[in-house]
Amino acid sequence: MLFLFLFHVEQKTEYNQIYITCADHALTGDRFQLKHDLGCDMLITDPQPNKDELKAYYNIPDYPSHEDKKTSLFQRAYFFARYLSTKKKLLWALKHKGSGGSLLDIGAGVGYFVRSVQAKGFECIGIETNRKARDLANTHKPNTVFEASQLEIIKPKSQSVITLWHVLEHLPDLDFQIQTLKNLLVLNGSIIVAVPNFKSFDAHYFKSYWAAYDVPRHLWHFSQTAISNLFEKHNMEVHKIYPMTLDAYYVSLLSTKYKSGKINIIKALFIGLCSNIKAFFTGEYSSLVYVLKNKSN
């Protein structure tokens, strides 16, 4: 899900070593190195396309988060997973909402989560840079998802919860973006971030074919240590971590296609199950949800 609302300055990072080389399996076949920042324990896609170049990598036919139709097997799997995961997302977001303020969903796609929050009686809007997805969202319900310029008129310290469901890995200049969002939070507010975990079993199993690397659309690849270190610089800390168990199955389904050229449902279910079983003991699920709060709370 492309989200370039504030393409500020190029982020400077010391790269330590090449972790793995991956291809853009979804579109171009272009190859990229993932370089391991050992200090932060984060992988960085290299080279990183500039703003204009990156847009072209999102021209994927029927990109799931920008669509609202169920034609292919992957779209059906995506929408089924979205339906189930939204119930948990709502539970997490409303649990950490506190009193007062509204919810802001960054990278809202077609607005499914925004509408789900509103259906519970809470104030919520979304931000989405993709015009097609934004138009689809507002066809379902007008004035629910806005372009990035809307961020400029949101009052500082007005949002109880800001959610980024598989969006942080797409953002350039992470420090600038995080600080911008933090400025919109009420004092005891929460930023909730869901990201893939490159230390999961399914990531190790599929290696360069792991679908959640999704280069170069994913600019960054996070570990638990990386998230903690990244937000520490903004005086925020990890308050809670939740697993996204369904992601292991969906990612494995797509990864089997990348690896063998065809879908292998049985294998995907088996690898997804193995990943979740191992993660039950290690905590390294395919994707993790982090609730981040100000340290001063």
Q: Is residue 131 part of a domain?
A: yes
Residue 151 in contact with residue 180, Cβ under 8 Å? yes
Alpha helix ranges (H) inside the chain:
51-56, 73-95, 112-119, 131-140, 174-182, 201-206, 224-232, 245-260, 265-282
pLDDT confidence of residue 68: 62
pLDDT confidence of residue 12: 47
Assigned token pair, 244? 């996204």
Q: Is residue 289 part of a domain?
A: yes
pLDDT confidence of residue 4: 45
With a cut of 70, say whether residue 246 has pLDDT above it: yes
CATH number at residue 76: 3.40.50.150
Across 63-72, 138-147, 158-167, least confident range:
63-72
With a cut of 80, say whether residue 18 has pLDDT above it: yes
Task: Give 254 or 6, the one with higher predicted confidence.
Answer: 254
pLDDT confidence of residue 7: 42
pLDDT digits (tens, 9 = 90+) for 198-233: 999 999 999 999 999 999 999 999 999 999 999 999
Q: Is residue 11 part of a domain?
A: no
Task: Give 99 or 123, the one with higher predicted confidence.
Answer: 123
Amino acid at the residue 34: L
Q: Is residue 198 part of a domain?
A: yes
Share of the chain above pLDDT 70, in %: 88
Count of the separate structural domains present in the chain: 1
- Listed as own residue / partner, the contacts of 83-91 with beta carbons closer than 8 Å and 24 or more positions apart are 84/246, 85/244, 85/246, 86/112, 86/113, 86/116, 88/242, 88/244, 89/113, 89/116, 89/163, 89/165, 89/194, 90/116, 90/117, 90/120
Average of per-residue pLDDT across 238-251: 96
Kindly report the average pLDDT of the chain as a whole number. Answer: 90
Q: How far apart are the first and last CA of the chain?
A: 31
Q: Is residue 1 part of a domain?
A: no
Q: Which structural domain, as residue segments, surrounds residue 83?
A: 17-294
d(CA 96, CA 116): 16
With a cut of 80, say whether residue 85 has pLDDT above it: yes
pLDDT digits (tens, 9 = 90+) for 22-64: 999 999 999 999 999 999 999 999 999 998 899 899 888 765 5
Model confidence, pTM? 0.90
